[in-house]
């Protein structure tokens, strides 16, 4: 199977869930979600009209809408582009599904789409980082005190 953007290809991945990964999440935590998108032309002129690459994030809370990152709409661009978003994991979610696929609506000629380096990361809360820092300082102060005795 491929993500080549060719209309009506029998091996295209063109719906959420065909290629996906399930990840654990923590409700109420912040997250970062990003992917790199690129496209190429098989005609050499760079004027192919392609569909678009899509990376979709679905939380299992049963309520929230999918989070979409969409790249490479329309005409081929030889440069890679980073698309990203941030958000808060909805209440009740314990896992999320990350899918990659293409939407070939309006695609008119041969070319290809690339989706690379899909990243989903939970962002630590500032209070967690602060507590870790205080703990490290406390350990350092405790060991210094023992050396002075």
pLDDT at residue 39, as a whole number: 73
- Average pLDDT, whole number, for the chain? 77
CA distance 123 to 141: 29
Map tokens 């967690």 to a residue.
128
Q: Would you say residue 1 has pLDDT above 50? A: no
pLDDT at residue 120, as a whole number: 93
Summarize the confidence of residues 49-54 as an average pLDDT: 70
Pick the residue with more confidence: 106 or 84? 84
């Amino acid at each position: 199977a491929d993500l080549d953007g060719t209309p009506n290809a029998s091996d295209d991945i063109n719906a959420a869930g065909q290629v996906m990964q399930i990840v654990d999440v923590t409700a109420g935590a912040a997250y970062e979600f990003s992917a790199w998108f690129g496209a190429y032309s098989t005609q050499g002129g760079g004027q192919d009209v392609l569909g678009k690459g899509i990376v979709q994030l679905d939380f299992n809370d049963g309520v929230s809408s999918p989070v979409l990152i969409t790249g490479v709409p329309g005409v081929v661009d030889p440069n890679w582009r980073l698309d990203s978003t941030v958000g808060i994991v909805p209440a009740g979610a314990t896992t999320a599904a990350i899918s990659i696929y293409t939407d070939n609506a309006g695609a008119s000629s041969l070319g290809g789409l690339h989706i690379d380096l899909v990243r989903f990361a939970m962002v630590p809360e500032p209070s967690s980082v602060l507590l870790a820092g205080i703990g490290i300082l406390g350990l350092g102060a405790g060991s210094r005190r023992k050396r002075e005795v």
